[in-house]
Amino acid sequence: MTDETVVWRPLPNPWVRVNFNYRFHRDLEALSSGIIIRDNNGLTTGAVRLWNRNIPTVEVTKALVAIQAIKFAQEMEF
């Protein structure tokens, strides 16, 4: 095994990176999530926190957050 250095390289312009994270609250049947968009220089160009109710399972959570991230990027006109 060799030690390799991982170096962040910016995305080519005009690409952006959309990251999201979430937590499923089983007892509340709810979802809390955060979405962040960064430009090719790593600067934040958009961010949002969301709360959704009536979420029955963690599988629904994963799909919903992915869709919300795509919609948020579209709303930001990326």
Q: What is the pLDDT of residues 43-75, one digit of tens each?
A: 999 999 999 999 988 888 989 999 999 999 999
Cβ(29)–Cβ(53) below 8 Å:
yes
- 7 within domain boundaries: no
Prediction pTM value: 0.80
Interatomic CA distance for residues 23 and 25, integer angstroms: 6
- 33 within domain boundaries: yes
Whole domain around residue 34: which residue ranges? 17-75
- 2 within domain boundaries: no
- 4 within domain boundaries: no
- 8 within domain boundaries: no
Domain count, the chain: 1
